[in-house]
Amino acid sequence: MASVARLFGTDGVRGLANADLTAELALDLSVAAAHVLSDIGLFAGHRPTAIVGRDTRVSGEFLEAAVVAGLASAGVDVRRVGVIPTPGVAFLVDEEDADIGVVLSASHNPMPDNGIKFFARGGRKLDDALEEAIERRMGEPWERPTGAHVGRIVDDANGLDSYLTHLVSSIPNRLDGLSVVVDCANGAASFISPEALIRAGATVTAISAEPDGLNINDGCGSTHIARLQNEVRALGADLGIAHDGDADRCLAVDAGGNIVDGDAILAILAISMKASERLVRNTVVATVMSNLGFHNAMYAQGIQVVTTTVGDRYVLDAMREQGLNLGGEQSGHIIISDYARTGDGVLTALQLMSVMRSSGQSLSQLASVVKVLPQVLVNVPDVDKSRLDESRQIALVVASVEAELGGQGRVLLRPSGTEPLIRVMVEAKTLGLAQASAARIAEAVREHLS
C-alpha cells in the first residue's frame, strides 16, 4: 500500500492486514497524525488526548497496539475503548473533548482487510488537506518526547455505556410493541445495537452477534442480507435491521422481507423531520448514487436535495457548509447531525423505528413513498482505475448508452475509493435495459483498462 500515490481513500486507509496495512505503517500514520494535528493548533497548547477503538477483526488487536504505541510515543495520552462502532468513537471524541479519534476497521470489507480512520476535535472526519499533510509527514525525523512527556495509556470501561445512553436518549418516544431482528455482522454492533433497541423498549432478536475475530461480514450484515430477510419472515417481526462491520451503516427489511435501502430510510426520516419542523431549510443531502426515485419522492414532498460525490464525509462536508442536519447514502450511511458527527447505523435504526412507532405505519407503508427505478451496479475488478478519465473509447460508450436512456435513466461510472475496482451504475425504466446497458459499459471498461 505504501507505494500507492495516495494512502487515504474515501474512508481512511485500508488494505490487507499485515501485508498492505502493517503494524509499521499503522505506527507511522499515528505519529504523523499527532504531529499534523498538533501543528495546526488543534491541541491549543495542552497535552493532547486520543480515543482509540476498533471492530472485531483479529488483526485489529495488533494494529490497535501499533496505533496506541505511535500516539503515546508522540506525547498523546490514549484512552482505549475496545470494540465499539466507528460513530461511537466520533461521539466520545466530541463528548470528552479529545483531540484525536482513531478507529481500526475496514467497515464492510472481508475479514482479512483492515483500515485506519481518523477523527479530529469534535469527532469530525479529516478533510483531504489534512490527510495529505499526514502522508507528507510520515517517516520524517522528529524530536521524541522522553520521561514524563510521553503519552499515557488507559482502558476506558465507561465509554461504551456513555455512547449507549446518548443513542437511546435521541428518540422522542419509546419503541414498545415493535419487534425487530438485528443482523450485527459479527462486528462492532454485536452488543450495542441489540442493547440500545432493548433499552428503547423494542423486542429484539439478534443474529450474527457472536464475533470470534474471524467471522465479521462473513455471509452476514448489510452486504449479505438474505439471512435477515428469512429470519424476519420466519419470526413475523415488524422489521429487520442490518449493520456492517463497524456499524456506521443501517439497511432495513420490512415485514415481508423486502429490502429498504438508504434512499428509502433517508426519505422516511426527511419527511418526518419536515413534518415536525426539524428539517433545516427543508433540504436533505444525498450522493450521486441515490436513485432517481428518491429525488422524485423528495420533489413531491417539497424537500430539496443537495447532491455530492460518493462518500459520507462528502455528505458531511456539504451538510456543514450549508448548515443542514440530514444527509446520507443509498448504502445506508445516514447522518443526523443533531445527534451525530458521522454516519451511525444504530442511531439510524432507532430513529427509523421511532417514526414507525409514532406514525403507526408499517415500514413498507413508510417506504412506499419512494418508487425505485431499476438500478444495476456492476463492479469491474483488476483494471487500472487511474486511467478511467483518459479513455475516450469508454466515454463514447457511456454517451451512447445515455442517449438511449434519454431522460428516463442515467449512468454513473466511478473508481471505488476503498477497493481496486471501477463501479458501473445504470438506472433505466426497465431492469432488462439497465442490465444490458451496465454490461455494455462494463465490457468497455474491461477492454480498455485491463
Q: Name the burial class of residue 68, with classes exposed (0-12), middle (13-18) and buried (19+) by CB atoms within 10 angstroms of its CB.
A: buried
Q: Rounded to two decimals, what is the model's pTM?
A: 0.88
Confidence of residue 40 (pLDDT cuts 50, 70, 90): low
Position 127 confidence tier, pLDDT thresholds 50, 70, 90? confident
Rounded to whole angstroms, the Cα distance separating 167 from 157 reads 17
Would the pLDDT of 33 be above 80?
A: yes
* Active-site residue, selected from the candidate residues 38, 105, 107, 290: 107
- Do residues 345 and 187 make contact, with C-beta atoms less than 8 angstroms apart? no
* CATH H superfamily, domain 13-157: Alpha-D-Glucose-1,6-Bisphosphate, subunit A, domain 3 (3.40.120.10)
Average pLDDT over residues 421-439: 93
Asked whether residue 2 carries a pLDDT value surpassing 50, the answer given is no
Distance CA 291, CA 298 (A): 11
Best CATH choice for the domain 162-367 from the list 3.20.20.20, 3.30.1370.100, 3.40.50.300, 3.40.120.10: 3.40.120.10
> What's the average model confidence in pLDDT over 207-234?
97
Residue 211 identity: P
Question: Where does the pLDDT of residue 42 fall: very low under 50, low under 70, confident under 90, or very high at 90 and above?
Answer: low
What pLDDT score was predicted for residue 3? 38
Report yes or no: 339 and 170 within 8 Å, Cβ to Cβ: yes
pLDDT at residue 397 above 50? yes
Give the model's pLDDT for residue 208: 98
**Residue 122, exposed/middle/buried by CB under 10 A (0-12, 13-18, 19+)?**
middle
Query: What is the C-alpha to C-alpha distance for residues 60 and 57, in angstroms, rounded to an integer?
Result: 5
pLDDT at 403: 92
Residue 45 pLDDT level (bands cut at 50, 70, 90): low
Residue 183 in this model has a pLDDT that exceeds 60? yes
Domains 13-157 and 162-367 share a fold: yes
Q: What is the pLDDT of residue 358?
A: 97
Tell me what the pLDDT averaged over the chain comes to. 93
CA dist 369 and 3 (Å) reads: 47
Report the pLDDT value the prediction gives residue 4, as an integer from 0 to 100.
42
> What residues does each domain of the chain span?
13-157, 162-367, 375-449
Supply the pLDDT for residue 297. 95
State the pLDDT at residue 418: 67
Average pLDDT over residues 375-381: 92
Q: Residue 96's pLDDT is what?
A: 94
Task: Identify whether 3 is a catalytic site residue.
Answer: no
Q: Which CATH class is domain 375-449?
A: alpha beta
Confidence label for 407 from pLDDT (cuts 50, 70 and 90): confident
